[in-house]
Amino acid sequence: MSLSPKVLRFSKKDELRVALPKLREIIFEKKLLLIKIDFELNDDEYALICHSLSTSETKPFVEWDFGHLLNLTNKKNSPNYIFSNEAVPLHWDGAFHEVPAILAFYCVENEVQGGNTFFSNTSKVVKDLNFELFEKLKVSSIRYETQKVAHYGGI
């Protein structure tokens, strides 16, 4: 099962701002939206757009130990693939203790090929399970651990 993103391109900031209500609808319908822009956003503009795409009932941002926004850059010999051009195996919405309204990624610069990722929609995965497997999983416990070598991980 795969998610097929809706892909939209904007050449001006004003076009993007005007489209935000429609983009919010697309995100909650399609679950994955790829927005390509021909301009740069500063951190405040990006945060405002992300906040506009969430709903009033949902917590718009994940609180990391560094704040709301993580600006990723390739770091030579990085101990973690997040800061390299290696593929990120999976972005899994089920990994959050408090699920954010949206997961937003903003690629500012990409000098090299790579860095691909898969996204999952846990609600859809659970909804599509057959009854027998669903009942088995209801009484199961899963523990996932990873070392804290970046902004995530640890116990």
Q: What angle do CA 45, 47, 50 make, to 5 degrees?
A: 110
- In this structure, how many other beta carbons lie within 10 angstroms of the beta carbon of residue 45? 15
Q: What is the pLDDT along the chain (155 residues), one digit of tens a residue?
A: 556 778 899 999 999 999 999 998 988 888 888 888 999 999 889 888 888 887 666 666 676 777 777 777 777 887 777 777 777 777 777 777 677 777 777 777 666 666 567 777 788 888 999 999 999 999 998 877 777 766 666 65
Residue 132 in domain: no
- Domain residues for the domain of 25 are 6-121
Residue 42 in domain: yes
| pTM exceeds 0.75 for this model | no
Q: Rounded to the nearest 5°, which phi and psi values hold at 152?
A: -130, 170
Sequence-distant (6+) residues with CB within 8 A of 57 are: none
Residue 1 in domain: no
Residue 130 in domain: no
Number of domains comprising the chain: 1
Chain-centroid distance of CA 128 in Å reads 22
**Cα within 13 Å of Cα(141), Cβ side:** 1
Residue 81 in domain: yes
Residue 51 in domain: yes
